[in-house]
Amino acid sequence: MTIQTLEPHLIESLRQSAREILETMVFLSPKAIDAAPEEGSTFGDQVIGMLGFTGTRSGTFVVRTDETMAKTIAAKMLMMEPSELGSFQEAADGFGELVNMLAGNFKNAWVAEGNQMELSVPHVIHKGEVSLKSKDAGALRSRVHVVLDGGNLDIGVHFEPQY
């Protein structure tokens, strides 16, 4: 079974969205943002942000990182230090907003191609595992790997198979 990936210009849009949001809203400059193969459709990580969507194709936008980077991202967005966050829930709220902004920015490129996309609200899972339908034949999935000072961020788009 071969999993299809996004067209190169949409992967480039995902890279550009990541750079723009991280630099302008999180105040972090990525060292590198590279397209990377998305080997599987099951994820276990310290922090997983997900945002479902429907439209021309249904699927899930997935952003993964470790707890330290999630706290750093949330704190930077609030112009604070990570140690100033009261609980992980504050970090989760900020991380969810990052997922929302990244998905919304990617949506613009997808819609410009003549597609439709309706976004749900983001959900953040702390120290969990997620399995998506994008393992089935006909699925479409792509990911970019972002290297930041202090950690990494993986941003993926997973379209469910079309039946």
pLDDT in tens, the chain (163 residues): 456 788 899 999 999 999 999 999 999 999 999 998 887 788 888 999 999 999 999 999 999 999 999 999 999 999 999 989 888 999 999 999 999 999 999 999 999 999 999 999 999 999 988 888 666 677 888 999 999 999 999 999 998 887 6
Domain 8-159: CATH superfamily, name plus number: CheC-like (3.40.1550.10)
Rounded CA separation 1/12 (Å): 25
With tokens 């099951």, the residue in question is 42
SS3 87: coil
Strand positions, DSSP E, the chain: 32-36, 42-55, 59-65, 117-119, 123-131, 140-148, 151-159
What amino acid is encoded at 113 in this protein?
A: E
Instruction: Name the token pair of 94.
Output: 């900020």
SS3 39: coil
Domain spans of the chain, in order of start: 8-159
